[in-house]
Amino acid sequence: MIKAQFKKKEFKFKRPSGTSRGVLTIKHAWFIEVWNEKNPSIKGLGECSIIPGLSPDFESFKQYEEKLSQVCENIHQDLNNFPSIKFGIESALLDLKNGGKQIYFTNDFSLGNKQIDINGLVWMGDVSFMQAQVKEKLSQGFTTIKMKIGAIDFDNEISILKGIRTNHSVEEITLRVDANGAFTKDDALNKLNRLNELGIHSIEQPIKAGQWDLMAKLCKTTPIPIALDEELIGVNDLSQKIELLEKITPQYIILKPSLHGGISGTREWIELAETRSIPWWITSALESNVGLKTICELCAEYDNPLPQGLGTGSLYTNNIKSDLHVSNGRIFLH
């Protein structure tokens, strides 16, 4: 008989982090432990991590913890509509299966033999703050930089990107941007054309999710490859996933296990995307080092040459101690 319990922890951002859901100063997470009654000394650990306003399974702390309590009573229930909890439970069970050593997948990454290329993330903020972050990421050896746009004046964002491109060619630095749905039906194509002049690799979610016809049209006419992110949230049914991919035909999809169906849901998206020759990459949803390690090991199950979005381990003042290490734009265990 498998038993389970959970405990909440708050992580404090080193500096307020601007997102499409406002400025974050605290990150809420719940850690699920599972064990077998016959051998209670070995426990599996998983992280349930949420972003208020973005996580589809989080309405309030009361509602979320009530659901966690139910799950601890019956961990085998259907959690398709609770991706962050599903991710935590799946992680904990994998850890338990592997002896409770916080090893979720046994592969070259978890054995310390593989490094994963990642992008350096530039948070939303005023011009000087964003420019300082760009400079920092370049000095740290990142060759792929992802910049969140849509929070300040578009001309200012263009000038920051121009500043990078003036000094670094497309061959030297890959630039990704994430609009988090900030563009409108009327200005999207014009903004995509302006970004295209700067050799942008891809843009995440240029318009708000749920506008399948408009997004399909944009993906057909865009000069820059479009990556779907928020668009995939809440799409859990297999037939619905197929319908979305075949209707919109995006250039890329981006997967966050805590938002897109846990580990199994993410694997399903990958299989469907690869069958349709749609490249993908995985991004953390600001998990602590526990969830981040799980996602890194999941990434390493695939031979994906694209840089992943896994450089979030240094965000918090009180992160959980970890063997994860980032150097020269790569993450690895040491």
Tokens linked to 312: 């979030």
Q: Is 256 a catalytic residue?
A: yes
Residue 260 has pLDDT above 70, yes or no: yes
10 Å Cβ neighbour count for 286?
A: 23
**For residues 197-206, average pLDDT:** 96
CA–CA distance, 247 with 218 (Å, rounded to integer): 12
Residue 254 has pLDDT above 90, yes or no: yes
Go through the domains of the chain in sequence order and give each one's CATH number: 2-97 (3.30.390.10), 116-333 (3.20.20.120)
Task: List the catalytic residue out of 27, 146, 256, 293.
Answer: 256
How large a percentage of the chain has pLDDT more than 70?
A: 99
Question: Mind giving me the DSSP string for 42-56?
Answer: EEEEEEEE--TTT-T
Q: What is the pLDDT of residues 3-37, one digit of tens each?
A: 999 999 999 998 877 666 677 889 999 999 999 99
DSSP 3-state of 38 = coil
Higher-scoring residue by pLDDT: 104, 149: 104
Full-prediction pTM beyond 0.85? Answer: yes
Confidence of residue 126 (pLDDT cuts 50, 70, 90): confident
Tell me which of 164-168, 219-223, 304-308 is least confident: 164-168
**For residues 198-207, average pLDDT:** 96
Instruction: Specify the pLDDT at position 132.
Output: 87
Average pLDDT value over all residues in the chain:
94
Cβ burial of 19 (10 Å; 0-12, 13-18, 19+) is middle
**For residues 217-237, average pLDDT:** 97
Question: Mind giving me the DSSP string for 116-162?
Answer: EEBPEEE-B--HHHHHHHHHHHHHTT-SEEEEE-SSS-HHHHHHHHH
**For residues 149-160, average pLDDT:** 87
Confidence of residue 168 (pLDDT cuts 50, 70, 90): confident
Instruction: Specify the pLDDT at position 20.
Output: 60
**For residues 137-150, average pLDDT:** 89
Instruction: Specify the pLDDT at position 19.
Output: 65
CA–CA distance, 16 with 23 (Å, rounded to integer): 6
Q: Are strands 324-327 and 330-333 parallel, antiparallel or unpaired?
A: antiparallel
Task: List the catalytic residue out of 43, 148, 208, 241.
Answer: 148
Q: How far is the CA of 279 from the CAs of 91, 177, 228, in angstroms?
A: 25, 17, 11
Residue 158 has pLDDT above 70, yes or no: yes
**For residues 152-175, average pLDDT:** 89
Residue 234 has pLDDT above 80, yes or no: yes
Q: Is 148 a catalytic residue?
A: yes
**For residues 136-162, average pLDDT:** 89
Half-sphere exposure of 108 (CA within 13 A, CB side): 10
